[in-house]
Amino acid sequence: MQSETASIVAAAVENNQNQRENAGKYLTFKLSSEEYGLEILKVKEIIGLISITQIPRTPDHIRGVINLRGTVIPVMDLRIKFGMEAIESTSETCIIVVEVNQEEQTVRMGILVDSVSEVLDIASSEIEDTPEFGSEVNTDFIQAMGKTRDRVIMLLEINEVLSGDDITLANKTAEPSDG
């Protein structure tokens, strides 16, 4: 009985620590009717949809590359990456340029989203751990769940969303940036 109580207390302490670590500012965006959030510090800029040059023999979720002020940046369609149906772009479709880290390298990559919503300051009291869905469902890419204004926002861990293969491809297609 004591070990069971100790386990419950340890889980509560860990949950509290995760809430504090995940609190902060998030850029929120939509894919279909779902809302997602990215830590604002990982976001470098948001641009409207511009011409994307396709690259042959890349995975379906890699849309191609863009020329952003002289720097070639790979663009990934987050809808397709998440297994959603591809849709036609609208006036609200945009590219969020993020910085990801892999093996002591920083890479810029664009993620195509349906629309950007707002920047939210999410307090630790509004954050919960990602629910468990069993061993067959991988939710490593979800950092936590934000609960704000009667809605749930999936807070993404962008380094987990972008697989090692995505980042390797980004390294091969992007020119080194000066910044």
Q: Would you say residue 67 lies in a domain?
A: yes
Q: Would you say residue 127 lies in a domain?
A: yes
**Exposure of 133 by Cβ count < 10 A (0-12 exposed, 13-18 middle, 19+ buried)?**
exposed
Binned at pLDDT 50, 70 and 90, residue 161 comes out as: confident
Secondary structure of residue 170 in the 3-state scheme = helix
Q: Would you say residue 116 lies in a domain?
A: yes
Domain hosting 53: range is: 2-173
Q: Would you say residue 179 lies in a domain?
A: no
Q: Would you say residue 45 lies in a domain?
A: yes
The pLDDT value given to residue 107: 86
Q: How far from 150 is each of 59, 126, 147, 153, CA to CA, in Å?
A: 36, 11, 7, 10
Q: 47 versus 141: which is more confidently predicted?
A: 47
Q: Would you say residue 106 lies in a domain?
A: yes
Q: pTM for the whole thing? A: 0.78
Q: Model confidence over 69-116: pLDDT tens digits?
A: 999 999 999 999 999 999 999 999 999 999 987 777 788 999 999 999
Check whether 11 has a pLDDT greater than 50.
no
**What CATH code is carried by the domain that includes residue 113?**
2.40.50.180
Q: Would you say residue 52 lies in a domain?
A: yes
Number of structural domains in the chain: 1
Q: Across residues 24-38, what is the average pLDDT? A: 94
Check whether 175 has a pLDDT greater than 70.
no
Q: Model confidence over 43-60: pLDDT tens digits?
A: 999 999 999 999 888 889
The pLDDT value given to residue 58: 86
